[in-house]
Amino acid sequence: MSAENSSTPTSITLPWASDFHCHLRQGAMMETVTPMVEQGGVHTVLAMPNLTPPLTTTQMAVDYGKELQKLAPNVHFILTLYLNPALTPAEIAKAAAAGITAVKVYPSGVTTNSDWGVLDFKIYYPTFQAMQEANMVLCLHGECPSDAAKGICILNAEERFLATLRELHQAFPKLRIVLEHATTQAAVECVKSLGDTVGCTITAHHLFIIIDDWAGHPHHFCKPVAKFPHDRDALREVVKSGHPRFFLGSDSAPHPRSSKQGEKPAAGVFTTPILIPLMATLFDKMECLDKLEGFISTYGRQFYGLPEPIDGTITLVRLPLGVPAAYAISGSASDGETVVPFMASTEIGWSISKAE
């Protein structure tokens, strides 16, 4: 990172950022949000596979990658597969040969398009063994399905899942595992206690909001939900410390306004077009701008085994950025729909002045 003044910088120049968890959807929504990846300061993005139908085969993922590349030719898309019974060790070998990096695990029913998700992890142990041998990454949506009889609800579903994370790490110590979008102090402490093959993504919005901010506010509602003040404090402290196994995964998850403001709001917060200015604003507030580059670029790339970025830089300046009230969804099939971003109709403290 270079800064105009290291104590109170008014501008910083960084490598293009990497987002290791992003939902780019399909159809008109995909056509709208994918070009916004670069607008938000990102040139590497790990694209989630929970489409309809989900990306369950190598060919489906490769075809999806080609669609994304046409929409954002300057962006490096890391492709993923959706864990399902047809994802055999043979398919893992095929996926690895095709350059697919990761497999995403969705416990059944915990979030958007997770109806095809996992009920029993042990039946996938041969697949995990094949992934370990192929040096692929296992990305975990770390929540147990809600079950009132077992005392599990959206507020403790992540913490109850951590025993599964420990079991998987013990069974496959050389398999790189990412606990996605951590929201709790318990998750932070768990990941820190495990080996170097276990990493963790943290979203922008979970570094800002707590339970009070999404209760009654559908555009802040996501899965996993934001938790308590002490949980947010733990997330902030671990990124402020510069821990190398915690890195940016935005979990930016756009939905049409009608889906977010309906009778049962869809889960997802949309941060893609403002992502890195948003991060700079927060890290400035936390007085740790010197840790920003590690969190948004270096640490995640090191965990995924990617080289240092050589595709240029972005310069952020301490100038207000107005966040639109909404973005129009492109395409004739969108029927005038919009998607509402995080921090809609407000200003954030930093903006991108130059990209090279």
Instruction: Let me know if 86 is exposed, middle or buried by CB neighbors in 10 A (0-12, 13-18, 19+).
Output: exposed
d(CA 188, CA 237): 10
Nearest to 17 by CA among 188, 204, 143, 194: 204
**CA–CA distance, 338 with 351 (Å, rounded to integer):** 23
Query: What is the separation of C-alpha 279 from the centre of its chain, rounded to a whole number of angstroms?
Result: 14
Beta-bridge partner residues of 129: none
3-state SS string over 136-190?
A: CEEEEECCCCCEHHHCECCCCHHHHHHHHHHHHHHHCCCCEEEEECCCCHHHHHH
Closest CA to 303 of 248, 227, 264, 223: 248
User: What 3-state DSSP class applies to 143?
Assistant: coil
60 CB contacts (<8 Å, ≥6 apart)?
A: none
Closest CA relative to residue 285, chosen from 201, 200, 348: 348
28 and 254 Cβ atoms separated by less than 8 Å: no
Distance of CA 272 to the CA centre of its chain: 10
Active site residues: 21, 23, 104, 141, 181, 251
CA–CA dist 37, 19 (Å, integer)? 9
321 neighbors 280 (Cβ within 8 angstroms): no
Distance CA 304, CA 193 (A): 20
298 φ/ψ angles, rounded to the nearest 5 degrees: -60, -50
DSSP class of 295: I
